Structures are given as structure tokens and as C-alpha cells.
Structure 1
Amino acid sequence: MTLPRALTIAGSDSGGGAGIQADLKTFTALGVCGTSAITCVTAQNTLGVTGVYPLTAEQVAAQLDAVLADIGTDSAKTGMLYDPQIIAAVADRIRRYGIRNLVVDPVMIAKSGHPLLLPEAQAALRDLLVPLALVVTPNLPEAEALTGMAIRTRADMEAAGRRLLQMGARAAVVKGGHLGGGRAADLLIAADGSRLWLEADRVETRHTHGTGCTFSAAIAAGLARGLELPEAVSLAKEFITLAIRTAPGIGAGNGPTNHLAWLERGRRQPGEGGDRREHTA
């Protein structure tokens, strides 16, 4: 049996709710063989981050060489990259190994407010990595940092998405969770001019640690399984909505979501859920 392969390039979360740990759980739940390259080791739990210990760019590159030269991958995603040197090494290996199905999650700040990307690394992320992305998946604060514009409405989300495309990404998912309201709406916008709004009922909970990591990992898993990007994003929206809705309530702070919920209810094809999708060209 040959399993699809997905690679995560991200930081380690000792609490298990985000980063490498969340990505590998998501890959497994979606039937994908996961590999990893760790960029940083963090000391964290549901209450916050108490330490960040970055690896060197050479150590990150060595992990990527080991995985890609032997196992290869059908898709890859990036998460916490921390500094410009790591970003440059990751971009070099993405180009060298010809990875086209790249999901860039521009992780900048932890739920607790701890910075996970140095300020001087934002330009490297924007200039070196975003142009290599099949899709970039910022939340609204990340999209504002990357584009330099304020985002307060859905129209602003579309404008930010277009600006990300101008930076070289082939598509962008601008996640609208920070807009508030009763519905959580995300926008997929692509270079061909297509737009896809994905909506789900908002779940009132503090247990949302690692949602961005999990969402982007689910997109990478869908791509590894051969889904087209709109289907992979729809799958990811269903996966993260269910994971939030069934969060186990672990920890005294922002707890993790339930990566096992997908397995507990059985896998289904994207689009079979009750969430509304609005597709415009």
C-alpha cells in the first residue's frame, strides 16, 4: 500500500496542540504519511509560550535533504520559521526539490501573544517564500502584516487576497475568524480570478490552540491525496470546524482542538457537510 506523503516544516509544540505535533496528527487522521523538519523547539502549554529555541538554518536544511532525497513528498506546508536564515534555507530546498504543492502558513504570533517570527523575518517570508506558495493561509492579523493594509470587512479580505497574489502566491486563503459575528468565513482567492467563500457557524470556545496549523495541514493533506485546491480547502474547513466543535477541553488556557474527531465519525468526502460554500468566478 502506498500512502500519500506530506511534509511539515514548523516548530515543535511541547503541549501538542500546534506546530509539528498538530500537523502530524492531522496528516494521520486524513490518511497521509507525514514527515517533518523541525525549525524550533518551544516550551509551551495552553497558558502560553515560555521558551523558544531555534535550530540553525543548516540543521533545518539537513532535515529537509534527508527527507526529500529519500522519501520525497506530494505536498509540503510551512509553519513557524522564526528567522530570516531558516526562511532562506527552506525556500532554497523548496526550489531545489521542485515542490509545487506548497502551503505557506505565515505563523507570526502564538495565541498567547508570544512572537513566533522575528520582525526582521517578515520581509524574508514575504519575498522568498510567498512567491513559492501554491496557497498562503494568513489569519487577519497576519494578512495585515504581510500586506500593510487594515482589514475590517469582507471587501477588505478580498483586497488583501489580491495583494497576496500580486506578491507571487498562486492562491490565498484569507481567514476571517477575527471579524467576529455568528459565522466564521474564509475566502479562497486564486490567480485565475476565482473566489470561494467557506462559512461555518462560529463555535464559542477558548479551545482554539493550533487552529491555523491544523487548517493548513489539512489543506496539505488534501493536496497530497490528489484533491484540487478548492476541494482541499473545503476539506480543511470541515476538518477544523469539527475539531473545534469537539475540542476536549484540555488545560487551563487556550486548549487544543480534537484532531481525532475526523476518525471517530469516519472520513467523508469534502462538500458533504452542512457548511455553506459560495463559489464565484
Structure 2
Amino acid sequence: MTSQFPQALSIAGSDSGGGAGMQADLKTIQERHVFATTVLVAITAQNTLGVQDFMALPTKIIDEQFASLDADLAIKACKTGMLADSIRVHNVVENLTRYDFGPLTVDPVMIAKGGAPLLAEDAIDTVKKELIPLATIVTPNLPEAEALTGLTIENDADMQRAGQQLQAMGAKNVMVKGGHEADPTTASDFVLLENGRSFWLRSPRFDTHNTHGTGDTLSACITAELAKGSDIETAIRTGKAYVSATIAQGIKVGHGHGPLNHWAVVSEE
């Protein structure tokens, strides 16, 4: 009998600096008391100062990782992060269609914190047409939401329109993250659920540069909660609370955009 202990999957790129990507996913899923598994799509050479280089893996080994997991484990939820280019996006979509790994969180990673591109421009259309329609939830930040929808997002109404467009592309639920907003005191995220309900999640901003990996951490936390059987709204709210705690209870690592504190304690979940 396969163990039914909650198991989740990260389909993403490796961050050698340990702050984002698959490393952030593993730390987050572990902290949420879920067993973490991985499909590695790309390898980066990066640290808190930026991304120096990256290499996408051959699709054959990506296929074999998916098949290996399906043959043995009982994965209850999965997420995507860095997928590098159109070929790998299509490859991952084929595998997600082939295997049932539960609810899918799509974090449409496009640009690293330091500004380096992590998704080829011609892959954006593949994400829109092939990956987003599979998503239980998609969690873009403002630049990613603009790239996916073609909108210029400057205010709350624009964020709502972006959410509606992303849902029209096929995503069941949408969380448009407002971390790039100009508001100096409050970070506001817009959530649009499959049942038509929408709401805002607002949190205070913290005076820190140590926010590397926030998007990965949020999406990984949502995925972990879904693997435990939480409903989508509970998973989203837990993800927001966890990320806020990892920033508020910060640590200092490196000389640039430092990582989050994945050991952070969430006082009220």
C-alpha cells in the first residue's frame, strides 16, 4: 500500500543560492508538514545578487522524473515555477495531462528578483494557451499579470480586470499579487475564486530587501495546504499569512536580495 501521508510536487528550476525556486518550494512544503517531491526543469547559477546563468534540462529526463514519481508516490497537489522556455512548458503540460497529481498551482515565473529573465518571451503564449487552462490557481505578480493579459496595471480596478481575464483563460482561481504596487505601506492581493467570490488580502509592507523567493514560497504553501485537503480559500489565506511571517521574522543571508525565513512561525492560521 502506498502511504497516504500528504505528498506534494514542485516542478521548477533549481536556485543554487537556496532562496527561491525549487529550494524555496522544498523548504516551504516541509515546514507545512507535507512530503515534498520534485521534477527539475532547469538549473540556475544564482545567489542573492542575481542570476549568472541557467540551463534547461532535456525533455527526456523531465519525462522520466514524472514517470518515476507516478510509479511510486501518491502526490495530492503540484505546482509549477520556472519552466525556462516554450519547449519545456509544452513538455510539462503533456506530463500534467498524462498523470494525475492533484490540484495544480501555476506560479508563472518570468523574471528573477534581480531582473534576469527566467522564461523565454515566446513561451508566454504557451503558458497562456496550454498551462493556465490546467490551473486550479494561478498566482502572478503584477509584471507577470501584465505580460499574460496585455493590460497595464496601475490600480485596484486594473488588478480586478487582470484577474477576470486570467480566469477567462481557463484558470479556476486567480491570485493577482500586488507586491510591485507603489503603495509604500500596504501590499494588496486580489483573489478571484471559481465560484465567483472575490476578496482582497492586505498586509503591511516591511522595510527590507530580504524578499527573494516570495512568489515561490506563496505558491508552494498553497500547494502544500491543498495536498492536506484544505479548500482553496483556506489554502490561499494560509499562504498569505505564512509569507508575511517569513518576511516579518527575517534573516540576513548574502549581500543582495536576501531569502525569506522559512522557519517563521505563523501565529494565527
Same structural fold, with TM-score higher than 0.5 when normalized by the shorter chain: yes
Q: Give the Cα–Cα distance (whole angstroms) in 2 for the partners of residues 32 and 138 of structure 1.
A: 24
Q: Which amino acid aligns with 2:108?
A: P
2:172 matched to which residue of 1?
Answer: 170
State the SS of the aligned residue for 1:251: coil
Specify the SS of the correspondent of 1:42: strand
Q: Of the candidates 114, 134, 137, which is equivalent to residue 135 of structure 1?
A: 137
Shifted more, 198-207 versus 134-143: the winner is 198-207
Moved over 2 A (4+): 267-270
Q: Aligned match of 1:121 in 113, 120, 123? A: 123
After superposing the two structures, state which structure 1 stretch, 91-100 or 223-232, moved more.
Answer: 91-100
Give 1:251's match in structure 2, choosing from 243, 254, 257. Answer: 254
Q: What whole-Å deviation, never above 9, does each CA across 1:25-63 have from its counterpart, x for those lacking one?
A: 000100000000111110000001111011012211211
For 2:242 and 2:192, the matched residues in 1 are separated by: 20
The structural deviation recorded for 1:83 is: 1.0
Deviation at 1:3, TM superposition (A): 2.2
Aligned to 1:232: 235
Paired residue for 2:208? Answer: 205
Using the alignment, how far apart are the partners of 1:242 and 1:5 within structure 2?
A: 23
Question: Compared with structure 1, are the counterparts of its residues 69 and 196 closer, same or farther at alpha carbon in structure 2 (3 Å cutoff)?
Answer: farther
* Gap regions ≥5 residues in structure 1: 271-281
Q: Which moved more, 1:228-237 or 1:192-201?
A: 192-201
Equivalents in 1 of 2:124, 2:71: separation in Å?
A: 29
CA RMSD in angstroms comes to: 1.2
Give the corresponding residue for 2:11. 9
Distance in 2, matches of 1:137 and 1:59, equals 27
Query: C-alpha offsets along residues 246-273 of structure 1, whole Å, 9 cap, x if unaligned?
Result: 22111110000000113xxxx6663xxx
Does the 8 A contact of 2:218 with 2:243 survive in 1?
yes
How far 1:192 sits from its partner (Å)? 2.1
* Shift of residue 197, structure 1, vs aligned partner: 1.1
Contact 2:14 2:43 in 1 (8 A): yes
Q: Distance in 2 between matches of 1:25 and 1:6?
A: 12
**8 Å Cα contact 1:3/1:31 also seen in 2:** no
Q: 1-side partners of 2:223 and 2:206: how far apart?
A: 24
The equivalent of 1:102 in structure 2 is 104
Distance in 1 between the 2:160 and 2:87 partners? 31
Q: Which residue identity is paired with 2:77?
A: S
In the alignment, which residue of structure 2 is the partner of 1:29?
31
Q: Secondary structure at the match of 2:220?
A: helix
Letter in 2 for 1:215: L
Residues 6, 141 of structure 1: alpha-carbon distance in 2 compared, 3 angstrom cutoff: same
- Tell me, what secondary structure is at the counterpart of 1:177? coil
CA distance in 2, matches of 1:72, 1:32: 12
Q: Does structure 1 conserve the Cα–Cα contact (< 8 Å) formed by 2:7 and 2:35? A: yes
> Offset of 1:190 from its aligned partner?
1.8
1:261 is aligned to 2:252: no
Instruction: Deviation per CA, 1:3-41: give whole Å up to 9, x if none.
Output: 201000000000000011100000010000000011111
How big is the shift at 1:2? 4.4
**How do 1:140-219 residues align onto structure 2 when only pairs under 5 Å count?**
140-181=142-183, 182-219=185-222
Fraction of identical pairs, as percent: 45
Matched residue SS, 2:180: helix
Aligned amino acid, residue 198 of structure 1? L
Deviation by residue 1:212-238 (Cα, 9 ceiling, x = unmatched):
000000000110011100000000001
Please give the residue correspondences for 1:266-281 in structure 2 after superposition, counting only pairs within 5 Å.
270=269
- Please list every run of 5 or more consecutive structure 2 residues that lacks an aligned counterpart in the other structure: none
Partner-residue secondary structure (3-state), 1:51: strand
Whichever residue aligns with residue 122 of structure 2, its letter is: E
For this pair of structures, how many residues does the alignment match?
266
